[in-house]
Structure 1
Amino acid sequence: MSGQVVILTGGVGGAKLVLGLCHAIPAKSVTAIVNTGDDFQHLGLSVSPDVDTLLYTLSGKANTAQGWGREADTWEFMSGLRSLGGEDWFQLGDGDLALHVLRSQRRQRGDPLSTIIADFASAWGIAAQVLPMTDDVVATKVETDEGILDFQHYFVRRRCEPIVRAIRFEGAATARPGPGIIEAISNPDCEAVLIAPSNPFLSVDPILSVPGIKEALAGSRAPVIAVSPLVGGKAVKGPTAKMMKELGLDVTAAAVATHYAGVIDAMLVDERDPLRDLPVPSARVDTLMTTLSDRILVARAALQLARAIRS
């Protein structure tokens, strides 16, 4: 593809596909729209986990074995915090703190999140455009059998153990799409919009909850291709399959495609999963992205499916 490609992403799986996409086509042609529903204030700092995971991944700084944080980070801050009885359930590496401190400082003086992220990406030589889904505050709340939990308390502190009843996104109704998002989706040079194999409920739905984004996708002239988050009927990482069961859904690619009804034009499915009952056109490939080559393969397969839909 010679045109622009937009990808909606959140979490580690999404970052892997964005990295593959940036190797499959020129990185400057890629626009990543990132979930910020799991952003939160912690220890007085503004933390943006999905944004930072993507920045670390695209700049080669990610701790790939751990799946989050920076490679070769140190933990003196956490050790000192723990010795004083501070909350240590959310891990912040010493190098990781640099992003949170600078972001917090700039937010306090009024800089929008989109500008801060663009500056971080530029400082680290990231050619792709990284756009937060909104500059406004949208907070993912998980309704569980233990009550309503803030996203990070559900995901990190409680390790996704509570049973999920519903999910809501506080602040979404009055939020505005981040600068450049609608323009990127509506750009005549946009040849494909991809939805990464991120958790549909916790990573993609927050993006779609911002008024105007879902409508722009539905009206896009470019094909919208979702990559299934399931591999062999299971989630590679995270609570996707568990949540689907708790929400009364079948743990299948077809259920994910139905969840995205009205938004996607086709779905890329793992070669181990059946294609039956899919409500949209589809293709299959090995979507288990262990190596960089795997990630490039999945990105190319998604783009190939987009080309097939266009033609």
Structure 2
Amino acid sequence: MPLSSRHQSIPETRTQTVPSAADYSDNQQKIAQLMAQLNQIVLDKSQVVKLALSGILAGGHLLLQDLPGMGKTTLAQGLAQLLGLGFSRVQFTNDMLPADILGMSIYDQNKLQFEFRAGPIFTQLLLADEINRSSPKTQSALLEAMEERQVTQDGQTYPLPEPFFVIATQNPLQQAGVYPLPESQLDRFLLCLSLGYPSPAAERALLKGQDRRELLKGLDTVLDTEAVLLAQQGVKKVYIADVVLDYLQRLVAKTRASQEYHGLSPRGVLSLQRAAQAYAYVSGHMEVTPEDIQAVFAAVTDHRLGQRFMPAHVTGGQATATISQRILAEVAVIV
């Protein structure tokens, strides 16, 4: 069943080229430029920006959880614009249906046949805004797309563009009108990040500076689609030594030794390795170090191990050690 002519502008799957050393060097310079520009938009959150870009270059999906108004949508839009990716935004609500995201088959009376009208998910970067305000049925509509990079409707399978990413935002569960994401959905997100409140200096810059929406309009594309695909290939080539893998596996074993939560699954372990490789790549080196694993560990594991985001006003401003922080403190780098 062919897509209707109205949707034939959907980006097509691209053939990947073999990268050279010069290509990688050029990409590294562009990545540094991209982060510098994004840090001018999302102030005082350089580590979150670096982790978010690492997740994208690792080919994974991102979950941004925080209070409303913290800059989650600004970060997602900035990434899409700087990476030159096709972008769609869907505002999730409690009355949304799966077809509102995936698309549906509509009968064409002129052609006397059904035609599939692609939904907003047929893009390169989908911003699923406030994903936990929709029902579990609508949330689960994203599962196949996130894992298989395809959509199945009425027995027909439609591939999604390459690359394809989902950046979802969610509000704290303490707020009204939200549905918790099931574990199977959470496991599809490579990284879960939280922006948090800005520092006083950053907040003053926001008060005295230009509107973020105006700054977003002025961003120029730094990496195009081909460069993103090239970077993804570069991430896969980042070397990880056996001694570093030993450390990674000790961390994983520690997650599985607890009676309080289920440990990391094999998919979670692969996600941890891939995220560490991407973080090393973004940092400008082609070998994973224990510091790279430590940098991504919380973002990869906490949401998989049941760690719920608690905003500062709920915890009384007291910082409590997360599951990942306790594990990192208990597992030695070298034994």
Q: Taking structure 1 as the reference length, what is the TM-score of the superposition?
A: 0.28
Of structures 1 and 2, the one scoring higher in RCO (CA 8 A, sep 6+) is: 2
Larger radius of gyration: 2
The structure with the greater share of residues assigned to strand is 1
The structure with the greater share of residues assigned to helix is 2
Q: Taking structure 2 as the reference length, what is the TM-score of the superposition?
A: 0.27
